[in-house]
Structure 1
C-alpha cells in the first residue's frame, strides 16, 4: 500500500504539471485565434481548456480522495496528515476556480494554490519514500 500511496502522490504532482501546461496552451491558442480575426467571448474554448477542466475537476480530485483513503492503510508515518492536506488543497483549488469567475483576483490564488497542491503531494510522496520497510502503527 505504501507504493500505491507514493504513486498516487506522484500522479497528483504530474496532474498539476499537466494543468499548468495546458492552461498556458489554452490561452496562447485563444490569443492566436484573436490575432487571426477570431473573437474572444463566452463561447471561446479549445482542446486545452477542455483538458484543464477534466484533469482539474475530475482526475486530480479523484486521485486526492483515493490518496486520502489509501493513507489510512499505507502505514506511512505522517501519511494521513499529508494526504489530508493535499486533499484539502485540492478542495480549495476547486473553490478558488469557481470563485475566480465572480472575483477575478481569486484567479491568482487559484494559480498559487496549484503550486501548493503539487508541493503537498510531493511531501506525501517523500514520506512514503522514507518510510521503513515494516509497517508502523498509526
Structure 2
C-alpha cells in the first residue's frame, strides 16, 4: 500500500504540471488567435464554435482540475490510512485540502480575477506537498526493506 500511496502522490504532482501546461497552451493559443484578428467577447465565450489552437487547454484544465485531480487526492487520502507511512495521513490530508482550495480559487476566480494570483501560487504549494508526501513514502519503503536483512527474505 506504500507503493500505491507513492504513485498517487506523484500523480498529484504530475497533474499540477499538466494543469500548468494546459492553461499555458490555452492562453498562448488564445493570444495568437486574437493577434490574428479573432475577437473574444461574451458571444465568443458562450459559442460552441469558437476554435483556435489551444482551446482544448481550457477544457483539459477545467476537467482535470475539477474532477481528476480531486479524485486522485481523495484516493491518496484513503490509501494513507492503510499505507502505514509515518505522517502519511497528515500529508495526504494537506494535499486534499490544498486541492479543495485550488478548486474554489478556480471557480471564484471567474468573478474575482485577482484570485488567479493565489490560484497560481497555491498550485506551487500543492506540487510541493505532493512531492513531500511521495518522498516520505519512499523513506518508509526503504525503512521497510531494511527490516528484512539481505539474503534472509523468504527463509522460514
TM-score, scaled relative to structure 2? 0.83
Q: Map Cα deviations across residues 59-107 of structure 1 (whole Å, 9 max, x no partner).
A: 1100000000000000011000000000000000011111211211111
SS at 2:110 equivalent: helix
Q: CA deviation at 1:36?
A: 1.2
CA RMSD of aligned residues (A): 1.2
TM-score, scaled relative to structure 1? 0.93
- Unaligned residue ranges in structure 1 (runs of 5+): none
SS at 2:144 equivalent: coil
Please name the residue that 2:144 is paired with: 133
SS at 2:85 equivalent: coil
- Looking at structure 1, the residues matched to 62 and 80 of structure 2 have their Cα atoms a distance apart, in angstroms, of 26
| Runs of 4+ with >4 A deviation | none
Q: CA deviation at 1:41?
A: 2.4
Query: Rg bigger for which structure?
Result: 2
Pick from 41, 51, 61: which aligns with 2:60? Answer: 51
